[in-house]
Amino acid sequence: MACCTVVLQEQRKKSVLWVWKSNTAPLDLSVREWTAYADVENEIIEEAYQQNKSEAILDDFHINFKRLLQISNTNEVEQRPVKRITRDENERKVRENRFLPISISSIKAFADDSSTFE
């Protein structure tokens, strides 16, 4: 049975999430507020990371992988820590589904007058 458990664990897909420290004083180590990058930015960052590039360049900032910093393209002093988080793909889907809004079709099923939503 132990061999089967190992095989199942290897088959799990991993997803990667890049986040930036979003509190007002980003270099303050006592406060930990992190915000995820948008999906497109996350893909650009991860692609550059997988290609072993030294940085990922986006519209307003770039990510320095060696220092794990987001640095403004217009002001080098504006910097924020970043980090790369890996997690199981199944965990991601469960968390996303948990916070999705109720769909219109499920609301219609409980309405007395379906014309309200048309």
26 and 81 Cβ atoms separated by less than 8 Å: yes
Q: Provide the total of helices (H) and of strands (E) in the chain, helices listed first.
A: 4, 6
Coil, strand, or helix at residue 101?
Answer: coil
Average pLDDT over residues 3-24: 73
Q: Is the pLDDT of residue 16 over 70?
A: yes
pLDDT digits 0-9 by tens, 41-80: 999 999 999 999 999 999 999 999 999 999 999 999 999 9
pTM: 0.64
**CATH code of the region 14-94:** 3.30.720.50
Tokens 């995820």, located at residue? 36
Query: In whole angstroms, what is the distance from residue 58 CA to residue 47 CA?
Result: 12
Higher pLDDT, 86 or 108: 86
Distance in angstroms (rounded) separating the CA atoms of residues 79 and 81: 7
Tell me if 34 sits within 8 A of 22, measured CB to CB: yes
Domain ranges of the chain: 14-94
> Which pLDDT value is given to residue 25?
82
Cα–Cα dist 97/100, whole Å: 5
Closest to 84 measured CA to CA, from 15, 18, 35? 18
Give the count of alpha carbons within 13 A of 116, CB side only. Answer: 10
